Amino acid sequence: MDKRAYAFIGYTGQEISYFEIPWDDEIPKPGSVAMTGPAVETDRIRYIRSIRSKAPGDITSVSVEKNILHIEIVPATTRDDFTLTVGDKRFTRKEFQINTRTADDRFARLEEGRVLYRLYTPDARGSRPMILFLHGGGNGGYEGERDNNKHIVTDYGPVNFAEKYPDIYVMAPMAVEARRDMRAFNPNRRFAQSDSFDVPGCGWCREYLGQVCDIIRRMVEENKVDGKRIYVTGMSMGGAGTIRAMSVGADLFAACVPVCPTMTPETFSILSSIRRPVWVTSAYIDHTLYRHKYLVDAVMHMRDNGNSNARLTLFSPEELEKYDIAITPDLPYPRLFGENHASWVPTYSNEYGIMSWLLNQVKE
């Protein structure tokens, strides 16, 4: 048996909760098992440990059964490396085969043309609703280097939709991204120049979204997907893609939820003119400081022009803290704004009934 780690998709994305290791020795002594490394040694986790009895990475249970060592932990992210120490033995992240609940066994890996995507198919018979999920920047792949996995395990999103709403289709394509160091990316560039970072044919461009929409149309024709209940949502770059999809697939979507969408002159123009139900969400402030001005202006323009089902929610600090977002005291502003960007967590956790609202919309 290989060394295995078992994960689910939590608020930080893929989180490990349980390890299994082939074991011929006695049960390790109390205190001899520990998880260390960048994944669990942050000021955020140290703060959580100071206010709670347990923090991510802390050991909760150790047992041996049939020559298998079982280790349960407070769920910890896989975004960063870690080392699991058991007595004098050390196991690194790379040594474990990570199995992710629902993502591994219920999301088919599919490819049609250039579109690489994962698809959850419900057991329910007849045509069913669909959520199209568009991932954020940095979670896609590059030409020739797309693994059809990172985009569904990196963030809280499509896997959780499948678990919460098992009667609907969930489609999660992977965008082809231009190579760019996200750490060097300047989110506070001038709004009028913000389209200059778009690379033709990359990200959620109109051409690629058109191919995605064609796949959905085929599924409608095959009576798999209910053509009156198709929804689109995504965060950050995927939030901008959500807005763009409402133009590319204007005939297709019943409603949309763009989350902290990248605002450019193009996406602002599209968002301002949407006539279908739309609920935009973001944090009270995040790493693109001008985002909120254009979100407010666009939603007000929609409402002034007759779209009474255009909504906007800006989550407060207290609402974000409910989900352990930006809870570390005295965060420098760049880190505060960066952590606040995770406004998809309360959105997809159905704060204000946002997801319930989305799934109740029916295209006329």
Each residue of 92-110: pLDDT tens digit? 999 999 999 999 999 999 9
- DSSP letter at 142? B
In the chain, count of helices (H) and strands (E)?
Answer: 12, 16
**Does the pLDDT of residue 184 top 60, yes or no?**
no
Token duo for residue 305:
């022009």
Give, for 272, the enclosing helix (H) or strand (E). helix 265-273
CATH 3.40.50.1820 in the chain, residue ranges: 106-359
Contacts 24+ apart (CB under 8 A), 213-220: 213/245, 213/248, 213/249, 213/252, 215/112, 215/115, 215/117, 215/171, 216/130, 216/132, 216/171, 216/249, 216/252, 217/252, 219/130, 219/169, 220/127
**Does the pLDDT of residue 197 top 70, yes or no?**
no
Average pLDDT score over the chain: 94
Handedness of CA 67, 72, 73, 75 (dihedral sign): positive
Q: Which residues of 33-56 are buried (b: 16+ CB within 10 A; e: fewer)?
A: bebebebbebebbeebbeeeeebb
Confidence of residue 364 (pLDDT cuts 50, 70, 90): confident
- Provide the pLDDT for residue 186: 61
Mean pLDDT value of segment 29-36: 93
- Which of 29-43, 134-148, 322-336 has the least mean pLDDT? 134-148
Give pTM, 2 decimals.
0.94
Mean pLDDT value of segment 46-74: 95
- DSSP letter at 301? H
**Does the pLDDT of residue 183 top 70, yes or no?**
no
Handedness of CA 210, 211, 213, 218 (dihedral sign): positive
- Which of 285-289, 304-308, 346-350 has the least mean pLDDT? 285-289
Q: Are 278 and 333 in contact (CB under 8 A)?
A: no
Would you say domain 106-359 falls under CATH 1.20.140.10?
Answer: no
Confidence of residue 181 (pLDDT cuts 50, 70, 90): low
C-alpha distances (whole Å) from 67 to each of 27, 44, 70, 194, 228 are: 10, 36, 10, 57, 53
Summarised one tens digit per residue, pLDDT across range 235-290 is: 999 999 999 999 999 999 999 999 999 999 999 999 999 999 999 999 999 988 88
- Provide the pLDDT for residue 353: 98
